[in-house]
Copies of this chain bind each other. A is one copy, B any other.
Amino acid sequence: MAKRSANGSGQAPRRTDSLSRELIIQTATEILDDGGESALTLRALTIRLKTGYGAIYHHVTDKGDLLAAATDDIIANVLSRTVTDGGPRETLRRLALGLFDAIDAHPWVGAQLSRQPWRPALLDFYESVGRLLDALAVPEKARFDAAGTLVNYVLGVAVQNAANARYLSSQDTNRETFLNGAAAQWAHLDPGTYPFVHASITQLREHDDREQFLAGIDIFLTGIAALRETRDTWVR
């Protein structure tokens, strides 16, 4: 974020530091953060990096490779930053919230996860979840399904988040006017056939995405707690 020195006038114009995979990925991330997924074109990259197409393809296989690598970086950062000194339940919430915040800050990560959900970075997340479930005394046989369920839930929220961000930037509005518009649409529906949607209008306007995400995590954790193994009494 704080590095925009390359544009300055101090450096020698000819001998810029040579291209590298890291620089390309970092620049791609900047473009994605600035203008969203649609802003990342190979042409935009060549301009920003003051280079040609071939130079980029020399360090990167594909546009897909580029997107995947940028996403891996973001996710790996989340995992390494997460504080894990609390209890397993608290750590699980922190991990999930860390992912949520990262995807909120970089919505294109959500879209990318929907394309390639099983990148190594997400495998690390999966590993952490599994171990925490062990600490929560979830029996081994149930851990696989439980971990998958949590990952799928996080993935679903990521997708929602990305879709919302895409919509907001395409319509060039903010969250509040978007929710007001959605609420207005919901209000137009027939209350007889859509009683629940109607009853939800106020909450739609006032809800906090982050808190709703956490409420979902708690629902799953409560459900998972019911799978808890009674390590004392052996049940056949």
Contacts and interface: CB of A to CB of B under 8 A. Distances in A.
A152 B144 contact: no
Nearest to A115: B163
Nearest to A129: B196
A117 interface: yes
Interface in A192-236: 193-197, 199-200, 203-204, 207, 212, 215-216, 218-224, 226-227
A131 B223 contact: no
Contacts of A145: 207, 212, 215-216, 219
A117, A127, A215, A219, most chain B CB atoms within 10 A: A219
Interface string A120-161: 000100110111001000001011111111011111111110
Interface residues of A, number: 59
B157 A152 contact: yes
Interface of A: 111, 113-118, 123, 126-127, 129-131, 134, 140, 142-149, 151-160, 162-163, 182, 189, 193-197, 199-200, 203-204, 207, 212, 215-216, 218-224, 226-227
